[in-house]
Structure 1
Amino acid sequence: MEADIKETRATERKRFDRLDWMVVVLLGLMVVLAPLLAASFVVLPAMGLFPPIGLLDWLQAIGVPLMMLLVGLAALIAVVREWIRPMPIGGAPALTVLGLCVLGWATLSLGQAHALYLGVDTLALLVAVLTTGTLASRLSRNKDAFATLLIALMLGGLFVSALGINEYLAAWKQGAFSHRVFGTFLNPDFLAGYLLLTLPVTLAIWVASRERLLKLSAGFALFLQGGCITLSASRAGLAALCIGILSWLFLCVWSGAFRGRWRSPALGLGVLLLSFVVASTPLRFRATPVSAAQASASRPVQSSAENDTGASGLARVGAESHSLLFRRYTWHGTLRMAEANPLFGVGIGNFTYAYPRYALVAFTAHAHNSLLQWASETGFVGLCLLLMLLAAASAFAANALRLRRAALSAPAGDILESFHRLFEEPAVLLCGLLAALLASGIKTLVDSDWYVVATALTVGLCFGLAVGLARDIAPLSTQLPTALRRSSLMLAGLVALGLVLRSGQLGFAAGWRAQAAEALFHQQPEVAIERLKAATEADPLDPELYLELGEIYDMEGLFPQEQAAIQRAIRVAPIAKAYYRLGQFYEKQGQGAQAVAVYQHAYALDPNNLQVLHHLGDAFLAVGKTQDAENIYRIMTELEHAPYGTVRAMGDELVETEFVYGQVGLAEIEMRQGQSAEALKHLEDADALMRLYWSRRNTQAYAIMPASKREALYQLYLRVLADWRQALRQTHAGASALAAVAQEESRVQQDHRNDQVAPTSPPSS
């Protein structure tokens, strides 16, 4: 049997044709582009119609479907190649079965999804990840192909790190020395989560490389990646990296991969340590202790411009202290959701819209724990299947290291056949891949890193390369190579074709949507409407497209079309956001009873949504249901002092002004009922929030706030002061109290006039 395996292994290397290399090129291109263009969540809710600026923005607009398209095309080519010339390859049947079980169970969970488009898109990403791993494993039979994909992985980390460091240098020139880099990702923590997959691999390439040019390139990439992950100031990321590096050292020593050659590993660790020291400023800023006096000062009430920057900085530091607490409450809410849906979960990809019913704190698009989020979306059975797949793949690679250790310690260990012209010892590379996956697995327990497109695809690639390399260096650990059956190839072809078609739908819809945003920017609403209609035809499952179409209809006064668009959004995805938008429509049309009914639907789906509560309370008042309105406003005031209002996400400098509507609404009801003393308490709380917002209104956190929203908050501030003055009169307060309110009102009005004449440019940090 051993002779048969050796003969088949030699045949595998020879039978690698142009079609195989086309697959390698497509996967390599995906690996490099994914962190540059597809770093967002695959199911991230739309952020509004913003026109792309430049080629990179246009590519970003279609980034997710482009990555799926590259993987789908690679899979189709691989199926055609196997159909024409079947290639017997030693496989791991347990991994194949477990992968199919994970995919099948996730597909079954779609039956629980309220937002089908989220489930379909996330399922497509899962297919892309599993396909990436499968293709990488099969392609690794050719060592040149393996080296190409491994170097592409290093280059992806290099380019992202270069962009991140350039971002920090731009901030540093403006004096923002504590700036945390985002790179191409949504936040610094996700950037760190991605680099955890590339850094240990880059270190392994540095140690194992034979060629001087490759070693220099790996050293340069190692320095940039180490500096970039430090500039992200992600404490969890750096802790996971340390564990990953230590595990890499342990595995290399245990497997005998170093074989006494410690100079190269020591130099690599020295380069990494130097990058940490050079780029440590943001991390040292986060580690600076905050005094109790500073913490209490993080809610300033003065509105003077000289206090803006300091207040913002203190608020940011204060928010940092809530990071872990916010995660704990989020984990608790996610676990409640998983326990309520233990078998199939709420549907793959549906966390965003299902979680609010179980949330204890403010909105978050992810669970800050990939495994816990997977359990909530696919049930505990889905979680068990995923863990079994990860454990089986890791055990497969670890067993290869054990066999390699035995081979290296044998008398003939020094004359083992050369692995590749670029690399000396393959075990060093396999240890690097396993260390990267371990570090990423640890980090994803505190962030949903594996729900980020670039990170998810890179995880699939790393597992595939690890399994392929393990099969190559320890062929006796696999079964006798066999070719794929035609039925299996047909099924794989159908799945790949489905991935290509879905990526095409998403790509065309994203392209039309970007063109609609550009037309709207140039004040061409008719063109924007046509582009969005084309987008809905390309992807009829996405409710966001219908809601955006409804916004344009509203601006043009086409109210019947607006109503039809919103109702279509509800039909394709009965989510709270769509019901809320329909309630706003009825409210503007003076249809109070219909508005109340629709807002109640939104409230049932998202009971802590302050905007829904605010408008539901107002709608109750409009139809004369004062007691119901009072109950809603009291819910809002209770939320303000509950964990929902007191525990905020890390780095959140925005003031939650929606609470003010609840305080004002409740105070106005109480004043009509003669309870002016109680009303005063609510108005004082409302005024404190408005003063805090007013002091920060021109900071970077509010840079993209629309002018209409700013004007609405200004009017809300005046409403608070007017009600406060009325309540003071009803309680026969002294002239000094009335004068203070009048003085504050005068100052606010003067600030507003100044903002209108010469808007304050938001600071750079």
Structure 2
Amino acid sequence: PGWRVFATFESPGYFGGFLAIILPLMLGWLFYFKSIYARAAALCAWMLVSAALFLTGTRFALLYAIISCFITLALLLKNRLLSRPRAAMCLIAVVGAIIMFIVAGHPLSSRLAGETAAEQSHSLPFRIATWHGTIKMIEAHPMLGTGAGTFQIAFPRYAVAGPTRMAHNGYLQLAAEAGVPALIVMLAAILVLLRECFRGLKDNASVIGDARIMVYAALGAVSAGILRNFTDSDLYNPGIGIIFWALLGVLAAVGGSVKIAKPRIWVRVVLEVFFVGAIVILYTFILGEVRAEQAAARLEGENIGSGTFESAAAIDPLNASRWLALANYEAVFASTPADWDRAIGYVQRAARLEPTRAKYQLAMAEMYLRKGEKQRAIDCYRYALRLDRHATVAMLALARLLPKPESEVMYRKLLQEEESPYEKLKGVPELVNPDFAWAHVYFGKKLLNSGDYSGAARHFKSAIDRLEKRKHYEKFLEAAQLAGLVNPEEEQDLDMLLAESKRLYAEAVKHAR
């Protein structure tokens, strides 16, 4: 009953943002149609969209959907388009939405109150911390940004809170990736298009007639899109961004400034060649993705040959993930130094494509370890920490590989990281990082041997709480396993660590008494 729907979008948040734009349009259709059958169909559409919005469990999307509907109603009321029959339809729509909330509102209500709401209270602080990091990123690259689509790659060095692929603010993300001038141009474009709309409404009110209802509904929808991008990066999602800009184009057409262009033949040919080329390039990206998925599906621990992985990398050679997948495949079946060198070479190629990503250094370090080159592995782990100071995997690996004085420094660094905002403020706190448990067990054993039983008990209890919390979020652990984020061998080690922590905790408590 607490599941959140997301349809064809990658997350419930994006689906909620899409529905927040659609909902005022459904309200507009409800007022615009005069036929009782058309109004009944519009009412059904309104109720279905409302139910879907509740099922996403997205609080900000609901807030902006309500605001956008109020904006639509305010514009209709101001321009004397909210007649008594339409006011009655509005009341029916509200009742319909309430019924849908009773039927399908559990995912949302559970996030507004109760235990789930307490668990999700991190959302706003996480966003604020992410905005702070994004502003630091903008300050470092104010004019040109870091490059289109590079937020996920460039952000870790500026991150204040936990990892994220988006800035959770479309305006800040645009400024970070393309520079402040690009943000100014986009905002100016939105203002110009809206100005054209209001000019057209003023000059052509009698001509437009009741069609103004849908214009005001579209204004409500656009307002939802504008507001949503203060707390999410919806403009970066094609399913939302295309609709947002299309609605702005329709609104600008109301002003009469949009003309039907009849370009010359040579211009049409150039544009057609350009779009055909763009389609071909996009198709190769999709084909590379398909080949990579086929390879992953066929692998399942069997030596299927590297051909499918190689073809995916050849089709999409600028995608570092393709080379990493090929390297991981080679590493699974590597048996000679030449095999390991080939696998490491693929990772190095991926690292050259995305030189600021720590994950390629981590993959390279693991391969060097398995090859038996410990010092090279240590060098890669150190470099990974320079690229991402929050890389706990590198900290734990160095704590295990370095001699004792330096090893303890790394374990202590892990405990410091555990108390940092980066660890405490996460977009998905249900994905619990188990690396800190190893540091707690290390210091727990040290204190136990020195006779500080109460201190040892605190460390063992911290390890137990973290590992059991990780098991508590079983659904998220299953999702992480499906995404390849969990190593089955590591899971066995963590189960053994949990059992050992419980045994040592009982021993420490016994001696402390």
Q: TM-score range by the shorter chain?
A: 0.7 to 0.9
Change (3 A) 1:583 1:322: same
Change (3 A) 1:377 1:569: same
Amino acid at match of 1:693: R
Q: Which residue of 2 aligns with 1:514?
A: 293
Q: Which runs of 5+ in 1 are unaligned?
A: 1-175, 291-313, 409-415, 741-765
Q: Which residue of 1 aligns with 2:219?
A: 434
Q: Which residue of 2 aligns with 1:284?
A: 109
Superposition map of 1:167-206 within 5 A: 176=1, 178-206=2-30
Contact residue 396 and residue 411 of structure 2 kept, 8 A: yes
Q: Which residue of 2 aligns with 1:299?
A: none
Encode CA deviations 1:145-186: one digit per residue, 9 max, x unaligned.
xxxxxxxxxxxxxxxxxxxxxxxxxxxxxxx2x443333333
- Alignment of 1:602 onto 2:384: yes
Q: Which residue of 2 aligns with 1:239?
A: 63
Change (3 A) 1:670 1:552: farther
Q: 3-state SS of the aligned residue for 2:179? A: helix
Encode CA deviations 1:325-378: one digit per residue, 9 max, x unaligned.
111111111111111221112211111121111112211121111111111111
Structure 1 residue 701: Cα displacement: 2.5
- Alignment of 1:716 onto 2:506: no
Encode CA deviations 1:480-511: one digit per residue, 9 max, x unaligned.
86633566545533542342122111121122
Change (3 A) 1:635 1:491: farther
Q: Which residue of 1 aligns with 2:476?
A: 701
Change (3 A) 1:266 1:324: same
Distance in 2, Cα, partners of 1:489 & 1:589: 57
- Alignment of 1:347 onto 2:147: yes
Superposition map of 1:293-332 within 5 A: 314=115, 316-332=116-132
**Corresponding residue to 1:639 among 417, 437, 452:** 417
Q: 3-state SS of the aligned residue for 1:326? A: helix
Contact residue 687 and residue 720 of structure 1 kept, 8 A: yes
Q: Which residue of 2 aligns with 1:629?
A: 407
Distance in 1, Cα, partners of 2:422 & 2:446: 24
Change (3 A) 1:481 1:446: closer
Change (3 A) 1:490 1:605: farther
Q: Which residue of 1 aligns with 2:313?
A: 536
Distance in 2, Cα, partners of 1:628 & 1:428: 70
Amino acid at match of 2:100: V
Contact residue 617 and residue 633 of structure 1 kept, 8 A: yes
Contact residue 23 and residue 69 of structure 2 kept, 8 A: no
Contact residue 255 and residue 404 of structure 1 kept, 8 A: no
Structure 1 residue 427: Cα displacement: 1.6
**Corresponding residue to 1:452 among 237, 258, 261:** 237
Contact residue 430 and residue 470 of structure 2 kept, 8 A: no
Q: Which residue of 2 aligns with 1:38?
A: none
Change (3 A) 1:692 1:204: closer
Superposition map of 1:80-479 within 5 A: 176=1, 178-209=2-33, 214-255=38-79, 258=81, 261-264=83-86, 266-268=88-90, 270-280=92-102, 281-282=105-106, 283-288=108-113, 290=114, 314=115, 316-405=116-205, 408=206, 416=207, 425-468=210-253, 470=254, 474-475=255-256, 478=257
**Corresponding residue to 1:503 among 282, 292, 296:** 282
Distance in 2, Cα, partners of 1:653 & 1:482: 53
Distance in 1, Cα, partners of 2:333 & 2:476: 30
Structure 1 residue 210: Cα displacement: 5.2
Contact residue 634 and residue 662 of structure 1 kept, 8 A: yes
Contact residue 222 and residue 271 of structure 1 kept, 8 A: yes
Structure 1 residue 722: Cα displacement: 7.0
Distance in 2, Cα, partners of 1:480 & 1:461: 16
**Corresponding residue to 1:593 among 375, 394, 402:** 375
- Alignment of 1:582 onto 2:364: yes
Amino acid at match of 2:191: A
Change (3 A) 1:680 1:287: closer
Change (3 A) 1:443 1:532: same
Q: 3-state SS of the aligned residue for 2:4? A: coil
Q: Which residue of 2 aligns with 1:561?
A: 342
Amino acid at match of 1:400: G
Amino acid at match of 2:14: F
Encode CA deviations 1:661-707: one digit per residue, 9 max, x unaligned.
333345567789x696666654442233234335x26x322234354
Contact residue 191 and residue 232 of structure 1 kept, 8 A: yes
Change (3 A) 1:605 1:440: same
Distance in 2, Cα, partners of 1:520 & 1:724: 42
Distance in 1, Cα, partners of 2:242 & 2:144: 24
Structure 1 residue 614: Cα displacement: 1.9
Q: 3-state SS of the aligned residue for 1:195? A: helix
Change (3 A) 1:630 1:494: farther
Structure 1 residue 279: Cα displacement: 2.0
Change (3 A) 1:481 1:327: closer
Amino acid at match of 1:285: S
Contact residue 110 and residue 117 of structure 2 kept, 8 A: no
Q: Which residue of 2 aligns with 1:58?
A: none
Distance in 1, Cα, partners of 2:444 & 2:372: 24
Structure 1 residue 437: Cα displacement: 1.0
- TM-score normalised by L of structure 1: 0.60
Contact residue 192 and residue 234 of structure 1 kept, 8 A: yes
Contact residue 255 and residue 402 of structure 1 kept, 8 A: no
Structure 1 residue 540: Cα displacement: 0.7
Change (3 A) 1:565 1:667: farther
Structure 1 residue 272: Cα displacement: 4.5
Distance in 1, Cα, partners of 2:259 & 2:122: 55
Structure 1 residue 438: Cα displacement: 0.5
Distance in 1, Cα, partners of 2:245 & 2:259: 25
Q: Which runs of 5+ in 2 are unaligned?
A: none
- Alignment of 1:656 onto 2:433: yes
Encode CA deviations 1:214-253: one digit per residue, 9 max, x unaligned.
4443222111001211232322112211211121123334
Change (3 A) 1:573 1:675: farther
Q: 3-state SS of the aligned residue for 1:703? A: helix
Q: Which residue of 1 aligns with 2:328?
A: 551
Q: 3-state SS of the aligned residue for 2:304? A: helix
Structure 1 residue 724: Cα displacement: 6.1
Task: Decide which moves more: 213-222 or 430-439.
Answer: 213-222
Encode CA deviations 1:282-317: one digit per residue, 9 max, x unaligned.
2333333x5xxxxxxxxxxxxxxxxxxxxxxx4x44
Distance in 1, Cα, partners of 2:288 & 2:317: 9
Contact residue 544 and residue 569 of structure 1 kept, 8 A: yes
Amino acid at match of 1:270: I
Amino acid at match of 2:467: M
Q: 3-state SS of the aligned residue for 1:526? A: coil
Change (3 A) 1:381 1:587: same
**Corresponding residue to 1:687 among 442, 464, 486:** 464
Amino acid at match of 2:271: A
Q: 3-state SS of the aligned residue for 2:310? A: helix
Change (3 A) 1:601 1:238: same
Contact residue 244 and residue 439 of structure 1 kept, 8 A: yes
Contact residue 226 and residue 276 of structure 1 kept, 8 A: no
Amino acid at match of 2:414: M
Highest RCO, 1 vs 2 (Cα 8 Å, sep ≥ 6)? 1
Superposition map of 1:59-74 within 5 A: none
Percent sequence identity over aligned pairs: 23
Change (3 A) 1:669 1:444: same
Structure 1 residue 560: Cα displacement: 3.0
Change (3 A) 1:223 1:359: same
